[in-house]
A and B are shown apart, each in its own frame.
Chain A
Amino acid sequence: MNSLFPTSADFLRTLPVIILAIFGTLLMVLEPLTGDGKGEKPQLRWLAIIGLALAMAGAVVAYGDRGAAFNGMLMVDGFGIFFSVLVIGTGLLTVFCAQDYLVREGHENGEFYALLLFSIAGQCIMATANELIILFIGLEISSIASYVLAGFLRDDRRANESAIKYFLLGSFATAFLLYGVAWIYGLTGSTNLAVIQNSLAANPANPRLLAVAVALMFVGFAFKVSAAPFQIWAPDVYQGAPAPISAFLSAGPKAAAFAIFLRVFTTAFDASFEKWEPVFWVSALLTMIIGNFAALRQTNIKRLLAYSSIAHAGYVMVAVTSHSSVGTAAAMFYLASYAFVNVGAFAVVSYVAAKGEKHLNVDDFAGLAARQPLAALVMTIFFTSLIGVPLTAGFFGKFYIFKAALDAGMVWLTVLGLLNSAVAAYYYLRVIVVMYTHEPSAAVDNLEPASSSLQFGWVTAATATIVLGVLPSALLEFASRSAILR
């Protein structure tokens, strides 16, 4: 069964990654050959869009031929494909929403799109990784590209600060993860998730040693998903990074990180999960509380969204804690809906912030409804979804997560989590109220109309938010079918 040479099925199943890598390289090669001298490079933008679209098609093709690839190092199953499509879709939306920003800052170039594609390729590997080393490689591909993207505006001090912080803390956390992998290898003699699962089931390892290994890996994962108490980097990074990048970071890499989190803890450490449940429980609750209560006090909209993304990571942690296929499906649905909402919300933020991201205060959104009704409307849809009002995707996301939690008998976590979401309503509402009830601010008065690409981006995101909120069945059923990992 183990063959030295990859088979055609191996290539077919990794089609999205291959396409992304090819297009990423192509973008780098073509970068010096294009451009009109004014800092706009529409050819590369379209190349990136085509690459992402093809990668998504590739994922659909790969779904038709599911199974292990490269000697079981990758597991291309419904779960992996779901997350691959999710991160590729996030990338596509990001490209549409970033165009205005890049052109405005005079930084539209091949590097941006190439890095974006590489980062997504890494996330696709993470989503399908069935092996700790491959998982680590995927994580690094994704992370390194993300570090650079965070500091993409070379001359901007905030972006530099953000990138350095992200890099230092991120590599620190990755080191924890890698150390955990080493311990696991020492305990079980394998890095393959299925083998580890069987090995731990057959002859239980020394519980203390196993505890150290799992704890180390938990730290690494918790950092990547910004779960408490390892969430400290997120506000600084999301605030400093260019808004479209913050959008991407809070949706794509986070979803992929949750994918590996879920996969590792429902396969390799499945048997001993009960022991870890209190840790997850506390972490989920802390993440929700820290995120929501810190967000209450924010005046900078990017920082507000950063804390909100921590809080939402807390909700997904509730789903992880429930440790069931229902919970996994709920997390998948939640992350998908969250990706649309957050990319859309950050797109509106980058639009209002204007050149140099000058207008990031919540009060800068005053009167947006009077001047730019469409932008205010989509922002309201995104924020009501973040609050969790019915008929938006965010509501069903929360509903499924807390239903999974109650299925697992976690009554108090559910009640506390839902009360948290009532607290959260306050800071989202503040923005909505400011947009609709206040007189237009100077920032809003001087806004140019949004470009068609940006409008396409946020209208797509808003439509998806509503569609998933009214007819969630199809996506949830797909998630439920794919949520059984082994």
Chain B
Amino acid sequence: MNALNLLLLIPLVGFLICLLAPKENEGLARTLALGASVLALVVGLGMIGLVVAMPTGFHYQSDIVWITTPNIHYHVGVDGFSLWMVLLTALLTPLSILASWKSVKHNANLYYAFILLLEFGVLGVFVSLDLFLYYVFWEISIVPVLFLIGMWGTEKRSAAAVKFFLYTMTGSVLMLSGIIYLYTKTNTFDFTRLAALTQTLPAEARWLMFLAFFFAFAIKTPLFPLHTWLPDTYSAAPTPVTVLLAGVLSKMGTYSLLRFCIGLFPAEAQHAAPWVAALAVTSIIYGALVAIVQPNMKRLVAYSSISHLGFVVLGIFAFNRWGLDGAVYQMVNHGLSTGALFLLVWFLEDRRGSLEIADYGGVARVAPWLSTAFMVVALASIGLPMLGNFVGEFLILQGAAKASFPWAVFASLGVILSAVYMLWMYQRVFFGEIAESVSSYMPDLTLRECVVIGPLIVLLIWFGISTSGMLEPISAANAELLNRIEGPARVAVMK
């Protein structure tokens, strides 16, 4: 069996086993889940060699007929772009499981089962090369989130779970109508063949399909003004799940924008680029401004995530290699840094049971290691040089400047604002008078927490210093994409 199928199979089998595991025995379920997700990570890491050596074109492909009418295949593969999304997912899942280790008391087997189902769905989205299969995985990834929020979330969880599901569903039915339409015109769901076939369709149809896809991805990412589900969902979800929502699920939106919106409808995307860039810049600034005034750490990080994802979208729609490379690089680093931020917020919440900034103060003196870790991650999130996010944001700004200078100026404003909200929060939580609630009980990082946060910090530093290992394959994959879409896109510009 090829590695990619194995990678998909492991979480699926893990899901079924956890589902059948005894309800009372939380230790067994979490061990099983951790084992499965670590195994998936190992398999994922094993794929790096081949893909990095030849980043263009899809590797580990398998193409099996699933349904004959219509012609639906189980067709999967990874290239130098999707590999990083896969690895991000495979990395954050075991960390999220490890972070939930002690906190899930009731129905633990279900909790871990749903986490693995979520991993299965998201991995499937990143590796599907058949649009129908892609849609199936896309929907599969929504269902566990509904239950994870609904059953283990904080207050207002039912409303948040339903809101999340309905938002995503609205986007995805539009995408479904686009996918079906594409099939009725081309008779295939195969992504590798569709890319050429879409150019034969009438312009009006391409526009409608571009909009249908774009709408779905803009909700998922999310892009202003379709972001309103995000703060409620992120804050109602149990924080280890928020790590996956912010770190991984948001990448489904940006990944799909790049792969499908640009890959299938390059001319339309090029035409729409100024409008999308405007939305992206609005997201950047709006997210940052709202983050500044949040009294709640989790919501603050949630809004900061909206702001940072605006950069990714801006980079994608800059339509040059700097923008694209930066966007993909930033997707990975945003996953790592936002995931790490939510994890650290979770460590605080786990200790004190509060997310309000006002309840904290002087943590640095009581828990120095926790504070140091938070500092590094916060600086990464701001985009300090030598840390991963800097590389991504720099490339994005460079790409945006080449495309249209004013956008880059406005976007840079977002970088400054991110320093404002991040450092201000850091100051209020970690410095100053030791708050009463902090002095009573605030142990430093435990060994388990070090294992959870350590890899993320190491990677953030690694990707900040040594960029070529990841950036070169990304760049090669993007160069191929740009090369392929150049024709249609140039036509669009000439019009």
Contacts and interface: CB of A to CB of B under 8 A. Distances in A.
Interface string B151-186: 100000110011001100110011011001101100
Q: With a 10 A CB-CB cut-off, give which of A395, A421, A429 has the most chain B CB atoms.
A: A429
Given A391-B136, A418-B176, A473-B67, A425 B166 contact: yes
Contact of B180 (A414, A436, A471, A480): A414
Interface stretch (B38-46, B142-150, B225-233): B142-150
B454 interface: no
B487 to A, nearest CB: 27
Interface in A411-449: 411, 414-415, 418-419, 421-422, 425-426, 429-430, 432-434, 436-438
B143 A473 contact: no
Contacts of B181: 406, 411, 414
A384 B143 contact: yes
Q: Is the interface on chain A under 10, 10 to 19, 20 to 34, or 35 or more residues?
A: 20 to 34
A6 interface: no
Contacts of A476: 69
A143 B166 CA distance: 38
Nearest to B162: A429
Nearest to A377: B19
A433 B158 contact: yes
A437 B136 contact: no
B177 A422 contact: no
Contacts of A72: none
B112 interface: no
B107 to A, nearest CB: 9
A419 B216 CA distance: 12
B432 interface: no
A477 B68 contact: yes
Contact residues of B: prevailing secondary structure: helix
A399 B180 contact: yes
B146 A418 contact: no
B139 A390 contact: yes
Interface string B341-378: 00000000000000000000000000000000000000
A316 B69 CA distance: 19
B175 to A, nearest CB: 10
Nearest to A405: B180
B13 interface: no
Given A389-B139, A390-B140, A429-B165, A403 B183 contact: yes
Contacts of A415: 174, 177
Interface in A22-42: none
A437 B68 CA distance: 39
Contact of B70 (A403, A411, A425, A438): A403
B39 to A, nearest CB: 24
A407 interface: yes
Nearest to A390: B136
A472 interface: yes
Contact of A389 (B143, B184, B208): B143
B156 to A, nearest CB: 11
A414 B183 CA distance: 14
A403 B184 contact: yes
A406 B176 CA distance: 12
B169 A422 contact: yes
Contact of A418 (B69, B139, B173): B173
A435 to B, nearest CB: 10
B146 to A, nearest CB: 7
A28 to B, nearest CB: 44
A434 B161 CA distance: 11
Which 4 interchain pairs have the tightest Cβ spacing? A418-B173, A390-B136, A437-B150, A422-B170
10 contacts: A389-B139, A390-B135, A419-B174, A426-B162, A429-B162, A429-B165, A436-B147, A437-B150, A437-B158, A473-B67
Given A399-B176, A411-B181, A480-B69, 13 more contacts: A384-B143, A390-B135, A390-B140, A402-B177, A403-B183, A403-B184, A411-B177, A425-B166, A426-B166, A429-B165, A433-B150, A433-B162, A471-B67
